[in-house]
Structure 1
């Protein structure tokens, strides 16, 4: 479960290079050589799918899979299935039908990403094993909550084989894999995921008469769900065993760094850094230590007429960002001398670089962390050259000079005017509305770079507005800054956390913090702001420096909290010590005079 980068990064490079050979742009390969490249490309993609399945199964079995429940629109799940599989069904000349019973729940509280993963696997299997006829998805209310049925008119499964199909690397019989392909992992993963989500999967089938797979889910799961790894047998445990201090985890420990290049090494690639000037348009910095992948991105950037520099680690990346001030940065999250997230934090803290558009990339999903820290985007490392080109086109579009748009939702006219004055600047368009309904209309009709809301509105609470935003179809959701002077209750904090998987949410309780967050999400250069605004931003940052050099004792028995809090505090320069219970905390405070904060 920890091997994803080591397996997928070299494979992605191989797939892209095989694609370049297969496309034969210079037309200097023979037909046989092109066919060989096509075979390599196809085999590489098959291997990548297998690795992804194995990694998913490993994470489930080791208890490392994260599940984050949130309010989920059932219609959104169904629309995704229709959009994904209608073209596949048409190509096979099958009918793909979707039916939702009138009494079916409209929303459920679950992890939509995992539910989507299960349903996609069931529908994909149904289409694969059906040569003619129909594949139908039915949604209905059930005693447990909700039922998703995937029914096909395909080859069917003999009763004797129905239990085996849910085992890893097992299919109905030995001929299935040879005839239809696949690894036999999909249903095993789906069954495990369904159980983690509080539900189950069953099958009703007969050989030659098609199959019906049903996913049963509750209407709501509490979360995040804790997944217990399998128990280890034959290990005696003493009831009087002392509490052990865990090894403190740092932000740079995950993802794990690779080998470090020697200092003052020559550039990874003969790049364009000598031609680049600070603030010059269409300039790109690639921070990537894997040579072949860096070369692929570099060549794709050249096609787009970017002047491009390449850095191989966080230190070189920060130095080049400071000196060249490119219009955009493509940042690998796993780097040899530390996490790319730590470099992103340095870039967004430094007034000279915080406005630069940073797009994160990795073989693992760090989108939430990167976007919360101010990244303009995030993508899983592509094994498709066209996907890399699309990312570069998106960066090119975002770096073009344009007005930044902010949606301000505030019913108090005095407060609204003061916020408009605070964040108003050249090139910033503020759309101010007084209530939640107008905010939803504005979001539906146009795009915004950032949104500021108060939690108390005349027609709904800020929490209800966030509920409606996350359910609104066809609207791009901008980062949300909750600007309120009140202390949030535990329940209110939990309510905000519930949305943090689908919406980037930040809190701001002072004008300085509000200005800081707005300029971060609008990617505004600090030098372009007024002297008064620059002074406010310095004050905001100095307040965060309060942790720098402090020794903080963190008392918690939940390893997830320890990891999250210690990572955040260490990024602020704190020295973190850990205690797992109250007795251990008291002992540490009595023995260690260096502790400043508990």
Structure 2
């Protein structure tokens, strides 16, 4: 205490506290005047607003009254108005604050109290969640933030400085000072003050003023305490002032530069944020448009799929009759031999059309992602014989060597999806023959540990290394500039890989450019142990045992009659019904041995009929028939009331196999026809240049019936038979490109020989 008194610090503290008391008095009196005078008189809004988002940075009423009262009181405190005024300085503060506050409020009409009004719609709410801290507050604590476009609490609003008071741009300190400056100063002066140099001068002036005021107060206090040292103290204070002036000048310059850099960075950040928000908004619009386009495309795709399924069903119904009767007539020995070739053309054409419909449905199912496979027992030996018999003539007609080898371990019967396996092998073999101009095509089948390996090798043009990665892509066609264009849509290998994967297998390819390609497919083919069927070349005339009754239920009369034509010659008793109700009436009191039921029928569907038959006590096997058996069967996977399914068009051999399986039949065969020794192949002679040109013309316009008629006319001459048979192989496969190539090559050979 003695030390404080000796140093004079106690007296300095006394003086300092006196000054602070005057400032505190000015602040408290200003608040009191605002609450007890301005608000009752209506000079200020009735409520008390504390949210920064709703207040001006500077309120002239409070700040002006406090500054005026504090300034005059401090002047009086330092003795400018005499000793009495100095002793009454706090009272002077009180009087001036109580007078100045309402006076300024009346002058400004109280417009600087609120920068904006709270939302009226929030008055009825009990709580509002802050978008920043996610806490709930009363409406009085909340404000609407345009920066977040959401409510924000007063605390988060005070702590967040990134928005730069977007909610009250005219109520910021800079804006208010600028408004006052424009009122007091000319526009040119204001413009100069807003430049970097002008702002630097203002900052230096404020810094020097603050430093000078502080040093002046220190000099005054020290001079009053010891007048004898006043001159030395004043000189020292002046030196300190100049030193701090230099330092403050440098600091202010760096401050102005830092401020400008921050403003530029914030403007750039704001600009980039604006661009980002615009881009996000644009992406949202694009995403919405893409979503709408996707939904539209999916709706169109679903409509297309429904149309394709419906169209295929309508096409298969008459095609079933065409193919069925073609198979019946082909086995009819009473038909003259010259007409047998025409019937074979009808059957092949119907099978080709059926294959086109299957491919169309497969594409639709692939796009919809709902391709299904079904496991059935097939005679793999007969199946492979059919494949070989189908492609060997095509290869020979093109001048290729076709070799086939199968493993002795391959069983007679296996379980797989015959239709899908046929598609895989047909696609691979047709590609091999199509893209091979000379050499050979090899088709090998291996079997080990229930896994079959199908290998197709050719000596064709091969596949380049870069094309190996895209041959399985849709609509990719193997073409080259130096060869003729190949027919097809480029979906063969795509469907092949998809079917292989769906069957649980794998496909691999190896190829060398201009040397050939090898495709290898590995599939799980479970062996089925059952007695081998007799040779299929023999004609079935009946079966051992009592006569069996088969009920055919189909709304299509042609199909009912066709099934009668197929089954009646085999000694079956065939009963037909046009619908489910008629079938239930027909079988009252009888127990048929087997039912053939169409799935899609008006009124009662096939599935409903099967359920009714089971409820009625019918235990006979029930085979479902449909043009869309692949799709309809899926709907009844959980229903075990039926025993099997057959697709339309009906294959007679498959139908007989199903009947033998479910009825336990033993077929009775007719005596085998005598084997005729194969005649040596006659040399292929030209029918004449005119006939060749006529065939070329028919091939160019794609007139199949005209080509068939022309070949039949040429075949009347025995010498033309080898020539016509070679061309019939192309016509049977609808390979017009190969047909044209064969004729061109044949014509060139004839000319070179001539």
> What TM-score do the two structures reach when normalised by structure 1?
0.42
Q: Report 1 or 2 for greater relative contact order, CA contacts < 8 Å, sequence distance ≥ 6.
A: 1
Q: Considering only CA atoms, is the larger Rg found in Structure 1 or Structure 2? A: 2
Q: Which is helix-richer, 1 or 2?
A: 2
Q: Which is strand-richer, 1 or 2?
A: 1
